[in-house]
Amino acid sequence: MGAGEGRAADGLAVLFATHYARMFADPRMAVLFDTRHADSNASALEHGTRLAATLMDLWYGTREYASLGRGSSFRNVGRAHARAKRCPLRPNSGTGAPRFSEAQRDAWLGHVLIACEECGASAELQHQIGRFLGSRVNAYGPFRDDD
Ligand code: HEM
């Protein structure tokens, strides 16, 4: 990996740390973190680093996620999302199918876009990140219509 890509990974980690700080501060999203589990009980920067590493590998073919020593990002995303969907802190936990809600999906993407603004990302970068993630987010459905 070249030096430029290294800086890109760090910059993206800060951007997604900002995203996670916003998730923690949003009552609709904070209930998705089952902090009894060590992987979930991590700082915004640690969560942001994992998401940034996943995206770097996807976009640039790097091995950022492997360098975190956490195994495979594909497996861990599935596990993290399954744990989040079943989190007992959710108001309707235990009822219905374990799914994210439509409002959480939209808030997740909204927090990414506002994090871009808060970090001073260029309009072009914000547009590209928003378009990419917006086109992928439905892969994590189906969604429920309550939180
Ligand atoms: C394109 C869309 C998405 C991508 C690429 C993505 C990717 C990831 C990744 C890489 C992780 C960390 C896995 C690890 O522990 O190493 C993660 C965790 C998480 N994601 Fe997503 N995600 C997406 C959409 C969403 C959406 C829509 C929601 C909620 C509605 C969500 C909620 C969460 C939560 C709460 C965690 C942390 C769970 C925990 O640590 O307990 N994600 N995601």
pLDDT at 9: 86
CATH says 3-140 is which class? mainly alpha
Structure confidence at residue 6 as a pLDDT band (50, 70, 90) = low
Query: Closest residue (by CA) to atom 40 of ligand 1?
Result: 40
The model's confidence at residue 4, banded by pLDDT at 50, 70 and 90, is low
- pLDDT by residue (tens digit) across 73-98? 999 999 999 999 999 999 989 898 99
Residue nearest to atom 11 of ligand 1 (CA): 77
The answer to whether 15 and 117 have CB atoms below 8 angstroms apart is no
- Cα(81) to centroid(ligand 1), Å: 6
Q: Distance between CA atoms of 118 and 47, rounded to whole angstroms?
A: 18
% the chain with pLDDT above 70: 96
C-beta 53 within 6 A of ligand 1? no
pLDDT digits 0-9 by tens, 131-145:
999 999 999 999 999
Alpha helix ranges (H) inside the chain: 3-25, 27-30, 44-60, 64-67, 73-85, 102-118, 123-136
Answer whether residue 128 shows pLDDT above 60: yes
Checking if the pLDDT of 5 tops 80, the result is: no
Residue 144 CA to residue 97 CA, distance in Å, equals 8
